Amino acid sequence: MPILDIVLAGLAVPVVATIAAALLVRLVGGRSVGARAAAVGVPIGLAAAYAVAPGWPWAPPTDPFDQLAWLAVGGGLLGLAIDLATPGRLTATIVAAVWPAIGLAWLGGAVLLHGDGNDLYRFGEVSVVLGLILVRLYRLSGDGVSGPLTAAVIAAGIGVLGLFSDVPGLAAVGLPLAATGIGWLACNWPKRRFPFGAAGLLGGSGVALVLAGHAALLTPVNASLVLVVLTAVLIQPVVPLLVGRLPGLRALSMRPVVTALFVAIPVAAAVALAWLAPTLIPSLY
């Protein structure tokens, strides 16, 4: 595929599709319902990008990256139902806690559950950690930006690690997924317009974490570097403290920029290690 087509499929299509879908849902649904459901634009953006390249898998998917594309659609629909049926956050939080386990079981259940005891333990360990991270991302999403932006940076990091580890499927999902975060930011910046509901959480942020878990457990990617990427969630709470201390960053419009820069620090470190010293840190698994 020509490089221009790759750029369009991986970046332009998900950005434009996310913006268009979010605005259309808001227009059709109205001020209340439409705004709550607008985050479904994130999984729609990923699905649109995947349909362009490498192509949408209409048959029951068996390739794990095709399954991730379907997981985004399923998560978006489930999250949309939660957004429309339950005004509170409890249901979405409960589903978020188990969503990574569901995704990993679908992608690699046959390998993980029928392997030795260590495989099963690793599956449980990673599922619990990712579930807690997804719940944390949901809590960070109260401003409509911080949670999805952090997830987008994580997705980009996993995608780039996939390129360095000769697993292009990680990039085929991770980079367009990161681009949907840019599209969502465009909808909510500089003015906050839409909340980041369960549709975006499960169909976007949740897919980013399942992608990370799959990379750590079932691909040649160094699991220790995946863990470094995931520490972006721990960096994010520094942002409000920094913004409060530096007058030039107090403007609300600056918050997404500062968030992206800070959560990208561990991601950049992981990518640099994968590029310059891939064997320096031994893999967890």
pLDDT one-digit tens code per residue, 132-170: 999 999 998 878 888 999 999 999 999 999 999 999 999
Alpha helices (runs of H) in 141-167, residue ranges in sequence order: 146-164
Rounded to an integer, what distance in angstroms lies between the CA atom of residue 1 and that of residue 64? 21
Given a cut of 80, is residue 260 above it in pLDDT? yes
Residue 255's closest CA among 204, 182, 178, 189?
A: 189
195, 31 contact by CB (below 8 A)? no
Given a cut of 90, is residue 273 above it in pLDDT? yes
In sequence order, the 6+-apart residues with CB closer than 8 A to the CB of 184 are 18, 22, 39, 41, 42, 145, 148, 152, 196, 200, 204
Q: Residue 262: count other Cβ atoms within 10 Å of its Cβ.
A: 18
Confidence of residue 215 (pLDDT cuts 50, 70, 90): very high
155, 233 contact by CB (below 8 A)? no
Given a cut of 90, is residue 62 above it in pLDDT? no
The pTM of the full predicted model, rounded to 2 decimals, is 0.93
DSSP letter at 237?
T
4-18, 69-83, 175-189, range with the lowest pLDDT: 4-18
For position 252, what pLDDT does the model report?
A: 64
For position 115, what pLDDT does the model report?
A: 67
First to last CA, the chain: 34
Backbone phi, psi, residue 265, to 5°: -60, -55
For position 250, what pLDDT does the model report?
A: 63
Tell me: the pLDDT tens digits for 114-141? 767 777 888 999 999 999 999 999 998 8
Tell me the two tokens of residue 248: 């030039």
94, 188 contact by CB (below 8 A)? no
Centroid of chain to Cα 104: 14
How high does pLDDT run on average in the chain? 89
CA angle 202, 206, 208 (to 5 degrees): 140
For position 262, what pLDDT does the model report?
A: 87
